Amino acid sequence: MFSVSHKTAFVVDHCPYMAESSRQLIECDMLTKSRSQGVIPLAPVSKSLWTCAIECSMEYCRILFDVYPTWKLVNYIVSDSEVHILNSWKQEDQNTHELMAALAAVGPPNPRQDPECCSVLHGLVAAVESLCKITEYQHESRTTLMDTADRVANRGRIICLTNAKSDTHVRMLEDCVLETIQEQNKRAAGSDRLMPIQQCELVLVHIYPQGEETLVSDRQKKELSSMLSSEVHSVRAGRYLASKLNVLVQQHFDLASTTITNIPMKEEQHANTSANYDVELLHHRDAHMEFIKSGDLHMAGSTSRDSGLKETVTLKWCTPRTNSVELHYCTGAYRISPVDVNSRPSSCLTNFLLNGRSVLLEQPRKSGSKVISHMLSSHGGEIFLHVLNSTRSTLEDPPSISEGCGGRVTDYRITDFGEFMRENRLTPFPDSMIDAAGRTPVERAKSQLERYTRYWPMIISQTTIFNMQAVVPLANLIVKDTLTDEDVLTCQKTVYNLVDMERKSDPLPISTVGSRGKGPKRDEQYRIMWNELETLVKAHVGTSERHQRVLECISACRSKPPEEEERKKRGRKREDKEDKTEKNGKDTEEKGWTTDSERLKGVMEREKDEQSECEIIKDSPDSPEPLNKKPRLATEEQQPPEKSKDDALHSIHPYLQLHASHLDDVIPHLCRHPLQALWSACFCYHCLKDQRTVCANSIYIRNGLITNTSLYSSITVTLLALGSL
């Protein structure tokens, strides 16, 4: 119910060595454009280690108070020869004004004070004692849940800013904190006003001046016992310390960075001109959840320029602006805090929003229509980043889950979802079964469900790796809470198999819905696959160190050697050559069919002319005989020259070189004719009874369909083309 981030105890060393200069020079007259002759320039100044520690810790607290005004509490402690506790866990003490006033009363460290009398151990002991105290929220939860008051956990974090002497000194500080926790837990067990510490995170930040070599090495998070974990950061004073604490506040409170670009602002020197500025904001990570689900986070992510943050999402200032917040359907609203709160662009943006204005933010795209995904607006004097619904709205009718009308989406991963439900079924379980971290079964179930759904595409066409059988071992293992060395080896083998598939240019199940032609090329297919695989593993990289090893394996395999890039380039040239050859072949084939149609048309016209010349025109019985007319033969004597069936069929068209004595031999050739035009085949036969030619029937062939094929006997076929060829 209460995580480690509920309580944060800051311990700042106030010993004499903290008065040493940080050696980061600050020019005092850098803004002076012209200097009169004879005026001595101001000498640069430098901050002390104490000043750097106070400024960076106050910036940490400011961001925390801006984003989490409640439930996230800070207790600030200064340690020298004695302990100075500047505030309490009460909500009214959680503000920077209270802390700055108390720090002013403490003052800077005295460099002439005896260093043997001063130690940061006094502050660490006081921080452990402070974590055992009950906060207002813990007390309220314990009184509300009287029957299950033991379920209210007590966890916290200690951040110590000091100047350690060596790694041995660091280990001594860790041992002191561990012993103090054990002693305080024994005291808290017999008290109603104290709570034993179940989990504590110790973050030691060693600060040293610039230009010196550090005597303390960095160390990742390490479990010292079931109650205490420790990590060490060795940082140079100045802007490096500010960047480190900025990263830590994001890690400790699940924050993310968004950079607003192209903000138009008028210049102070030139009122008629304007320039574009960028402002970086911090907020809860859930504001980027739509990017994470859609897999577009790797496209929008970029490295921050000044603050040293790991990742920031860039959103573009969108005009026109809007004042009507109710016109937009929002799925979430999160408080924001500027990274550089004192800069002019940040000040102008916050004043603009606090005056009741709202700003729409769009995703930067190289082509296509713009997508407005977020909006900045203020409510009650606080600025919120609103997440606008840029995909299918939950207010619409649900799409069809199966084939048929009723929805635009039908290719859901129904089988995979059934397997997902089987792996996350709930069963009755006693509440007394609590794990080492103090989680109940239902909390462990929720944690597992959250891990399984960090990246789970719902539609088949929106994923590649979940359609590949080769990725199944990695996808099943990466969602686990802990990985063994054997699991890491299995994931690495899966990655190596994918590299081998790419080397062999094996096809991938890439969806071609909505695209023309063959779809993306082979290199593009594998680029899409690697991006999606990296997105899946990045969603779980913070679970453990072994998860990080899987991501490092993927990153190493994606960096191809130069000879591999050259081979891919030759493969792309070969594919382009094949596409061009196939296109030329189609053009040649179409020209061939056109030539055949022209030849057929010419033969038809010549046959028609010959028939018109050979036609006999009979005179009327009453008309006089022509003078030079030869005697007319009787009808019985006038026998037309018999044509063989082979000649008759051959006269149809030279393209049809066939010899047939039956109608069934003619029809298949007509059906296979490549032109597929409209034809009429008139079949005539000789009637022996009246010795005259009679048109018996007609057969129509259209698109390969034939009707009335019941004619047999000796035939003469004439093809007449109807319509345009």
Residue type, 512: T
pLDDT score of 529 more than 80? yes
The answer to whether the beta carbons of residues 89 and 76 sit under 8 Å apart is no
- Span 426-454, mean pLDDT? 80
- Residue count (the chain): 725
pLDDT of residue 429: 75
Q: Which residue has the higher pLDDT, 309 or 559?
A: 559
- Span 70-90, mean pLDDT? 92
Q: Which residue has the higher pLDDT, 349 or 709?
A: 349
| Tokens found for residue 272 | 């008629």
pLDDT in tens, 24-39: 887 776 555 566 666 6
Q: Which residue has the higher pLDDT, 655 or 203?
A: 203
pLDDT of residue 318: 83
Cβ atoms within 10 Å of 688's Cβ, excluding its own: 6
pLDDT of residue 432: 66
pLDDT score of 588 more than 50? yes
pLDDT score of 527 more than 50? yes
pLDDT score of 402 more than 90? no
Cβ atoms within 10 Å of 643's Cβ, excluding its own: 13
pLDDT of residue 519: 61
pLDDT of residue 408: 60
Residue type, 376: L
Stretch among 69-73, 338-342, 590-594 having the lowest mean pLDDT: 590-594
Angle between helices 522-538 and 485-504 (to 10 degrees): 170
- 699 φ, ψ (degrees, to nearest 5): -120, 130
- Span 234-260, mean pLDDT? 91
Coil vs helix vs strand at 399: coil
pLDDT band with cut points at 50, 70 and 90 for residue 437: confident
pLDDT score of 241 more than 80? yes
- 510 φ, ψ (degrees, to nearest 5): -85, 130
pLDDT score of 252 more than 60? yes
Q: Is the peptide bond before 320 cis (omega within 30 degrees of 0)?
A: yes
pLDDT of residue 644: 46
Nearby residues of 202 by Cβ (< 8 Å), 6 or more positions away: 157, 158, 160, 174, 177, 228, 229, 230, 231
pLDDT band with cut points at 50, 70 and 90 for residue 277: confident
pLDDT of residue 183: 93
Instruction: Please work out, in degrees rounded to the nearest 5, the angle formed at the alpha carbon of residue 63 by the alpha carbons of 58 and 66.
Output: 120
pLDDT of residue 141: 84
pLDDT of residue 635: 39
pLDDT in tens, 227-236: 999 999 999 9
Return d(Cα 429, Cα 211) in angstroms, integer: 59
pLDDT of residue 652: 42
pLDDT of residue 41: 72
pLDDT band with cut points at 50, 70 and 90 for residue 100: very high
pLDDT band with cut points at 50, 70 and 90 for residue 309: very low
pLDDT of residue 299: 46
Nearby residues of 96 by Cβ (< 8 Å), 6 or more positions away: 58, 61, 62, 65
For the whole model, what pTM was predicted?
0.57
pLDDT of residue 676: 40
pLDDT in tens, 176-191: 999 999 999 999 888 8
pLDDT score of 688 more than 50? no
Nearby residues of 268 by Cβ (< 8 Å), 6 or more positions away: none
Sheet arrangement for strand 83-85: 83-85, 73-79, 7-13, 155-162, 199-208, 228-236, 219-223
- Span 73-81, mean pLDDT? 92
pLDDT of residue 462: 82
Return d(Cα 159, Cα 178) in angstroms, integer: 15
Q: Fill in the DSSP letter of residue 514.
A: T
The answer to whether the beta carbons of residues 425 and 413 sit under 8 Å apart is no
Cβ atoms within 10 Å of 274's Cβ, excluding its own: 12
Q: Is 543 exposed, middle or buried (0-12, 13-18, 19+ CB in 10 A)?
A: middle
Q: Which residue has the higher pLDDT, 382 or 33?
A: 382
pLDDT of residue 7: 93
Return d(Cα 294, Cα 292) in angstroms, integer: 6
The pLDDT mean for the chain works out to: 75
Q: Which residue has the higher pLDDT, 73 or 519?
A: 73
Residues of the chain with pLDDT > 70: what percent?
A: 64
The answer to whether the beta carbons of residues 706 and 671 sit under 8 Å apart is yes
Helices (H), 539-561: 545-558
pLDDT in tens, 701-712: 333 344 444 333
pLDDT score of 724 more than 90? no
pLDDT score of 146 more than 70? no
Coil vs helix vs strand at 197: coil
Tracing tokens 């590649």 back to the chain, one arrives at: 464
Return d(Cα 401, Cα 693) in angstroms, integer: 67
Return d(Cα 427, Cα 631) in angstroms, integer: 113
pLDDT of residue 506: 85
| Tokens found for residue 8 | 């944060």
pLDDT of residue 503: 87
**Residue 197: which of 162, 229, 160, 219 has the closest Cα?**
229
pLDDT score of 297 more than 60? no
Residue type, 372: I
Return d(Cα 317, Cα 260) in angstroms, integer: 6
CA distances from 417 to 421, 423, 452, 460, 577 (A): 6, 10, 11, 11, 42
The answer to whether the beta carbons of residues 193 and 187 sit under 8 Å apart is no
**Residue 207: which of 244, 176, 173 has the closest Cα?**
244
pLDDT band with cut points at 50, 70 and 90 for residue 399: low
pLDDT score of 672 more than 50? no
Return d(Cα 255, Cα 252) in angstroms, integer: 8
Stretch among 109-118, 156-165, 260-269, 612-621 having the lowest mean pLDDT: 612-621
Angle between helices 96-106 and 49-67 (to 10 degrees): 160
pLDDT of residue 639: 47
pLDDT score of 467 more than 80? yes
pLDDT score of 623 more than 80? no
Coil vs helix vs strand at 305: coil
| Tokens found for residue 55 | 């400024």
pLDDT of residue 149: 60
pLDDT of residue 74: 94
Largest CA distance in the chain: 155
Cβ atoms within 10 Å of 636's Cβ, excluding its own: 7
pLDDT score of 591 more than 60? no
Mean pLDDT: which of 48-57, 409-418, 424-433 is highest?
A: 48-57
pLDDT of residue 161: 94
Q: What is the DSSP string of 561-607?
A: -HHHHHHHHHHHHHHHHHHHHHHHHHHHHHHHHHHHHHHHHHHHHHH
Centroid of chain to Cα 690:
86
Tracing tokens 């072949």 back to the chain, one arrives at: 585
Coil vs helix vs strand at 688: coil
The answer to whether the beta carbons of residues 683 and 715 sit under 8 Å apart is yes
- Span 276-295, mean pLDDT? 82
pLDDT of residue 636: 41
- Residue 254 backbone zone (phi > 0: left; psi -120 to 50: alpha; other: beta): left
Tracing tokens 């600030």 back to the chain, one arrives at: 76
- Span 568-578, mean pLDDT? 60
CA distances from 223 to 5, 128, 412, 462, 481 (A): 18, 17, 43, 40, 16
Q: Fill in the DSSP letter of residue 710.
A: -
| Tokens found for residue 574 | 């070969």
pLDDT of residue 40: 72
pLDDT in tens, 104-136: 999 898 888 877 888 899 999 999 999 999 999
Instruction: Please work out, in degrees rounded to the nearest 5, the angle formed at the alpha carbon of residue 66 by the alpha carbons of 61 and 71.
Output: 80
